[in-house]
Amino acid sequence: MSSLAVSPDLLTRYATNAPRYTSYPTAIDWDRDFDASIYGDRLERAGTRNDPLSVYFHLPFCQELCLFCGCNVVITRKEERIEAYLQRLMREIEFVAARGLGQRPVRQYHWGGGTPTHLSLDQIERLQTAFLTAFQLAPDAEVAIEVDPRVTTVEQIELLARVGFNRVSMGVQDFDPVVQKHIKRVQSEEETRAIVDAARENGMESVNIDLMYGLPHQSAAAFARTIETVLDMRPERVALFHYAHVPWMKKHQTAMDEDAIPEAGAKIGIFLDALEAFQSAGYRHIGLDHFALPDDELSVAASKGELQRNFMGYTTRRGTDMVSLGSSAIGEVDGCFFQNDPNERQYNERIDEHGFASIRGHEMSVDDRLRRDVILSLMCNGLIDKRAIGGTYGLDFDATFAGELGELAPMVADGLVELDADVVRLTAMGQLFMRNVALPFDRYFRLRAERGETGRGTFSKTL
């Protein structure tokens, strides 16, 4: 059992709905009057710089739908449909590169989805060739891909390694057969281990395994066995996500037995036991929901207070701009967020018509940037350096955030936060409630609360 114990009273007071803060402001708070047609102009402005760049491709296709899934996915086995999408994605690559972004070094590059390995060997190679023709990878670039061991072959892993991928992330969620049946993701230990072994045999530097707690029919004892199995595989990184039950957004989740979802106390117990197991095995708890071995880059960055976060999660190589391509993809270019059309057909049509598919976005104000730096500092490194923030923005932190610091007072009393003259610091217990501690600094969340909007129906539960 974990050395940490969360009381029922603490759970009652802090188990609320809140953002995960892969961005600030969150997408729900973006400017409704934003003109997304300025995307090309912003790309050209960003293309005049030479600092590092992040690039993300969204490949939405899956063979079947997992009931827990909260991603933008397309279920298909039609080759012509996938091929039509890839043609548009390659046109979008050309559009972006032609505006100067292709000259900037790409330090972070990621294929997500969906299931990127739903593509054939030929399609993988053609898409990577299109990228490498238009962009230039930095020598130390992180080149990562999400894979599903149920559909990924050893031949695909060999090809991915050959064309430059050095990190692979794979979903497991839970090895318990009862849970797997109810979430419609039946995946054996053997097929998972085969892909882990293939990645290592082909020289990939890092393997990440995704797990999920709070799933229907999940129990502490059975999940402990899943942890043991994962520890035996010894991935460099583990992401332990809290299942987000949002049936109002993802209708397929209504097919799961909601009554079988563990209640809050049981869920936090599962997480705390996992925390103890991973730390006992030598992993470091990174940020909100990640664990990494001590010599992994995430651990090293966390120990130095240099961890970063963007739409791709925790990283050490975030570019100053992030170009995201494909349906629903969200990027950040020249001080603006942009999101592509999430509808596959409409995405294809917009690419045909304009060369890009942005339909909404937000231009960050100075206050947005200030609060983003405060929140991400907390989410990444567990503290807010008041002097550093004040120096960057030319302000007195305590005076500027007097109200927010006042809102932290109950959290100080509850042992979640420590305050001193220079630093706001999360305690070990406070790291579990990280999203709650960030909320007072979220101006948009406060404005919504003043309008009587609690976040329910928009954001997942914090615990």
Q: Which pLDDT band holds residue 1 (cuts at 50, 70, 90)?
A: very low
Residue 422: strand, helix, or coil: coil
CA distance 420 to 417: 10
**Counts of helices then strands in the chain (DSSP H, E):** 19, 19
What is the three-class DSSP state of 72?
A: coil
Q: Are 249 and 136 members of one domain? A: yes
For the stretch 152-206, pLDDT in tens is: 999 999 999 999 999 999 999 999 999 999 999 999 999 999 999 999 999 999 9
* CATH code: domain of residue 108: 3.80.30.20
- pLDDT for the residue numbered 393: 97
Kindly tell me the burial class for residue 4, based on how many C-beta atoms sit within 10 Å of its own C-beta (0-12, 13-18, 19 or more): middle
Could you tell me which of 290, 390, 294, 387 has the C-alpha nearest to residue 22?
Answer: 290
Contact (CB, 8 A) for 213 and 270: yes
Lowest mean pLDDT among 110-119, 301-310, 448-457: 448-457
C-alpha triplet 458, 462, 463: angle, nearest 5°: 130
In a domain, 241, yes or no: yes
Both tokens of residue 64?
A: 């079947």
Residue with tokens 């997408």, as numbered in its chain: 27
Supply the angle between the helices 220-233 and 189-201 in degrees, to the nearest 10: 30
Which among 448, 373, 439, 324 is positioned nearest to 20, based on CA atoms?
Answer: 439
Write the burial class of residue 35 (CB in 10 Å: 0-12 exposed, 13-18 middle, 19+ buried). exposed
pLDDT at 451: 81
Q: Please spell the DSSP secondary structure of 170-190, one letter per residue.
A: EEEE---HHHHHHHT----HH
Q: Among 306, 323, 340, which residue terminates a domain?
A: 323
Mean pLDDT score of the chain: 93
Q: Which domain holds residue 283?
A: 34-323
Question: Which residues make Cβ contacts (< 8 Å) with residue 60, sequence separation at least 6?
Answer: 71, 72, 73, 74, 85, 113, 114, 326, 327, 328, 344
In a domain, 315, yes or no: yes
- Inform me whether the pLDDT recorded for 457 exceeds 80: no
Cα–Cα distance for residue pair 436/18, rounded to 1 Å = 7
Write out pLDDT tens, residues 51-105: 999 999 999 999 999 999 988 999 998 999 999 999 999 999 999 999 999 999 9
Domain boundary among 323, 356, 388: 323
For residues 156 and 53, state if they share a domain: yes
Any idea how long the chain is? 463
Examine residue 2 and state whether it is found in any structural domain, yes or no.
Answer: no
CB atoms within 10 A of CB 244: 17
Lowest mean pLDDT among 242-251, 333-342, 352-361, 385-394: 242-251
**In a domain? residue 53:** yes
Phi, psi of 258 (to 5 degrees): -65, -30
Q: Which of 289, 323, 357 is the last residue of a domain?
A: 323
Please indicate, yes or no, whether residues 316 and 372 belong to a single structural domain of this protein.
no
Query: In this predicted model, what pLDDT tens digit does every residue of 196-254 receive, in sequence order?
Result: 999 999 999 999 999 999 999 999 999 999 999 999 999 999 999 999 888 888 899 99
Q: Is 93 helix (H, G, I), strand (E, B) or coil?
A: helix
CATH number for 421? 1.10.10.920
Which residues, 6 or more positions from 125, have their beta carbon under 8 angstroms from its beta carbon?
159, 163
Within this chain, do residues 308 and 405 fall inside the same structural domain, yes or no?
no
Q: List for the chain the helix, strand, coil content (%; round to 5).
A: 45, 20, 35
The answer to the question of residue 260 being in a domain is yes
The verdict on residue 216 lying in a domain is yes
Whether residue 10 lies inside any domain: the answer is no
* Model pLDDT, residue 458: 66
Residues 277 and 135 in one domain: yes
pLDDT of the residue at 288? 86
Please indicate, yes or no, whether residues 73 and 126 belong to a single structural domain of this protein. yes
pLDDT above 70: percentage of residues in the chain: 98
Q: Indicate whether 169 and 261 sit together in one domain.
A: yes
**What confidence tens digit (pLDDT) does each residue in 401-428 have?**
999 999 999 999 999 999 999 999 999 9
Q: What is the pTM of this model?
A: 0.93
Is residue 126 located within the same domain as residue 250?
yes
Are residue 303 and residue 165 in the same domain, yes or no?
Answer: yes
Domain count, the chain: 2
The pLDDT value given to residue 454: 58
Residue from 173, 108, 139, 51 nearest 311 by CA: 108
- Give yes or no for residue 299 having a pLDDT over 70: yes
Compute the distance between CA of residue 451 and CA of residue 140 in angstroms, rounded to an integer. Answer: 47
Show the tokens assigned to 453.
């909007």
pLDDT given for residue 232 in this prediction: 98
Over residues 267-292, the mean pLDDT reads 93
In a domain, 3, yes or no: no
372 and 440, same domain (yes or no): yes
Same domain, yes or no: 282 and 229: yes
Residues 89 and 177 in one domain: yes
CA distance 55 to 211: 25
